[in-house]
Chain A
């Protein structure tokens, strides 16, 4: 049978992502008949390729749930959402939200946040390069201007605030042998790539509201007020120097060379 080019590709695309679907019309072989094993090569290529992209992006999640279950999870996700573009390093941006709604989160409630750290790692790796704000540049701000100063988040910087020790779990799975986190407590993780190395750091929990407010573009004094309200032991100086030395910011908003 003959069908139009568009209709033919519609049918092919549907069949290639749905293992239950019949073979698309018009597909044949030299023997003169359609062959499911031949069409299965395309189905397999699509599925295996997308699962591999997720395996490469989420190696810690894969270790946490095991290779076989990760493949199942990845296949479920693939049926839920195909890549929106050919930039496969972006595929899986919505995997954390998908995992949150998946039954696996009943037994592994921290899994979604660990994938948030892994997703942030890849985004930081491919982020726009930018000079990180240095301690010297910070020190050049006049004391009377400091409170009203807003810092610009480095293009690679991201914060993951978790009710679980997501950063410790991620860190423990960077080596062959895994030592479980000593304390099971909420963690806030800063992912950044000030130069060529992506860093993943667990922030002191009392600094978390401050970091979150600054990365959202709030002024230093407003951010400090939020942190103090949450924890009276918050220390402005050490928190700010800590974040700047991790490469969390690229500039101050009053810098003349800033993109407006």
Chain B
């Protein structure tokens, strides 16, 4: 097994935004002050056309994070070799500063299920996920980041705690971690855990990128709060407070605001990025003051 360079991520310790087709023109024309842009890899797997033309232009101006949403690393079955080859083509073409994927599965032999589905945490599943992360890093020739999931159910057969599971994958494969703070809040509320305790146990020194997003709220069959990872609103205040707590512990980190559904005008997204940059600058200032 090859262990890839464990240097820090190439993403700047700034705010980043998801790149959406409806904003291509305004980003290209206005060149907004944003630390990086992130794209879903699968949206750039066509042979040609405007998506590639725009991505080339914008990736020439900003650091790029390539975020896969469909590799199905948590699948029981083998990884899709054709999909890995498509990812490799993108990595070679755009040379992203970071590649990340999810601790989840989405492909089954019945077809592509288009959601990030959960898996039990056992010795068997840990080994399978490690094999898949290792295979991905070999295929892409770079270290990847693996993202903690938001989940709505638990599995009776799980024997390993989620943080221990992620830490073990990182130990065995050398991969970094992507810490999605909204997912922490969603899973913590859904499984009645303390999100602050989760963050305080998380191996933050392995985090190459942070994600923030908005959640939706519903109730489960017992009337308990059920949070849903929706990416359709601004970051909720409780998630932002949790994020600030993370920064106090870990220091400034590259931080993406995800807003994938009901995408607003670019100014609204940019305001979210400025809020993140404000928190990053405040934490940097706090650390400088303490050091002085």
Give A contacts to B, CB under 8 Å. Answer: 1-6, 8-10, 12-14, 16-17, 26-31, 34-39, 41-42, 45-46, 49-50, 53, 81-89, 124-130, 155-156, 193, 196
Contacts and interface: CB of A to CB of B under 8 A. Distances in A.
A2 B224 CA distance: 27
B222 A35 contact: yes
B110 A31 contact: no
Nearest to A31: B222
Interface stretch (B4-12, B113-121, B281-289): B113-121
B220 A126 contact: no
A49 B218 CA distance: 18
B153 A38 contact: yes
Closest 4 CB pairs of A and B: A82-B111, A126-B46, A86-B70, A129-B48
Contacts of A130: 48
B49 A8 contact: no
Interface in B69-119: 69-70, 75-77, 80, 82-83, 105-108, 110-115, 117, 119
Contacts of B125: 5
A37 B219 contact: yes
A2 B264 CA distance: 45
Given A6-B77, A9-B108, A87 B115 contact: no
B239 interface: no
Contacts of A39: 152-153
Contact of B221 (A30, A37, A49): A37
Nearest to B127: A5
Contact of A125 (B50, B113, B120, B152): B50
B53 interface: yes
Contacts of B53: 196
B282 to A, nearest CB: 35
Contact of A27 (B76, B153, B224): B153
A26 B220 contact: no
A16 B117 contact: yes
A126 B47 contact: yes
B153 A35 contact: yes
15 contacts: A13-B117, A16-B113, A28-B154, A29-B154, A30-B154, A30-B191, A31-B224, A35-B221, A35-B222, A41-B226, A85-B83, A86-B42, A88-B114, A127-B49, A196-B53
B152 A42 contact: yes
Nearest to B116: A45
A63 B83 CA distance: 34
Interface string B221-250: 110101010000000000000000000000
B161 to A, nearest CB: 14
Given A38-B226, A86-B106, A46 B51 contact: no
Nearest to B228: A41
A88 B45 CA distance: 10
A87 B42 contact: yes
Contact of B220 (A1, A37, A45, A85): A37
A10 B42 CA distance: 24
Nearest to A196: B50
Given A38-B226, A88-B114, A89-B46, A9 B153 contact: no
Contacts, number: 155
A122 to B, nearest CB: 9
B124 interface: yes
A41 B153 CA distance: 10
A109 to B, nearest CB: 29
B270 interface: no
A9 B111 contact: no
B192 interface: yes
Contacts of A16: 113, 115, 117
A29 B193 CA distance: 12
A46 B113 contact: yes
Given A8-B120, A45-B115, A46-B113, A26 B226 contact: no
Nearest to A39: B153
A16 B47 CA distance: 31
B45 A41 contact: no
Given A2-B157, A5-B76, A30-B191, A82 B46 contact: no
B228 to A, nearest CB: 6
A26 B120 CA distance: 9
Nearest to A50: B114
Interface in B12-55: 42-43, 45-53
Contacts of A10: 108
Contacts of A4: 76, 124
Contacts of B51: 126
Contacts of A46: 113-115
A73 B128 CA distance: 38
Given A28-B156, A36-B221, A84 B45 contact: no
Contacts of A53: 114
B42 A88 contact: yes
Interface string B106-149: 11101111110101101011001000000000000000000000
